[in-house]
Amino acid sequence: MKNEHLIACHDCDLLHRVSEIPDGMSAYCCRCGALLAQSKRNSVERTLALALAGLFLLILANSFPFLGFKIQGQSRHVLLLTGIRRFYISGMPWLALLVLFTTFIAPLLQILLLMYVLLPLYLGVKFPGMFVLFRWVQKLGSWSMMEVFMVGVLVSIVKLAKMAQIIPDVALFCFMALIFVLAACMASLDPHQIWKQWKTY
């Protein structure tokens, strides 16, 4: 059929001929029941908007103070990258590089690559190499570990609360919002729709 295309099940590798999936509907494997594809309404527009919001939040999270510490009347405010710098100064450069990559570089690359792919689709044009880079979007997702970093920050706050007064700053709230925005961004992404829309140009 003209509107049918082949989709391999991600769990059992069975090939299926899937026709056009209506908005809000899903296709499942007839052998193992795994999800094959799910049509998401306005996937390109919503994902692009969330990616732009994520970029804005990432810039804010690294531009403003992250936490404030007040001890014996003296207060000090630190940036998000201050801890990474401390790791490096303390003789742990590889740990500093790992934290920098998983909390800043990987999310930034993921957002920029998404925008490089989705913006041309939204405008109805093609950019060179856009779908080679699209394959890296999902690979970078596994390296973006802001949630783990946030859990570590919260544990540290609980432990330090007995020693000093902890003052949450702007960057902390931006970082927390960024975690949810990126999760929503990847949840609204419909790879099948993107590949299909690319073929029409």
Residue 1, pLDDT score: 45
Does 30 share its domain with 118? Answer: no
Residue-level pLDDT at 55 = 94
Domain with 29, as residue range(s), is 1-39
Same domain, 9 and 28: yes
Q: Tell me, what's the pLDDT at 172?
A: 86
pLDDT at 51: 93
Written as tens digits, the pLDDT of the chain (201 aa) is 445 567 777 778 777 777 666 666 677 788 787 777 666 777 788 899 999 999 999 999 888 888 877 777 677 777 878 878 887 888 888 888 888 888 888 889 889 988 888 888 888 777 777 777 877 777 776 666 677 777 777 777 777 767 777 777 888 889 889 989 988 888 888 777 776 666 655
Same domain flag for 16 and 105: no
User: For residue 143, what pLDDT is reported?
Assistant: 67
Q: Are 62 and 170 in contact (CB under 8 A)?
A: no
Quick check: 85 and 152 in contact, CB under 8 A? Answer: no
Do 149 and 171 fall within a single domain?
A: yes
Does pTM surpass 0.85? no
* Token digits of residue 141: 């997702």
User: Are 99 and 194 in the same domain?
Assistant: yes
Say if residue 121 is in the same domain as residue 161: yes
Same domain, 10 and 50: no
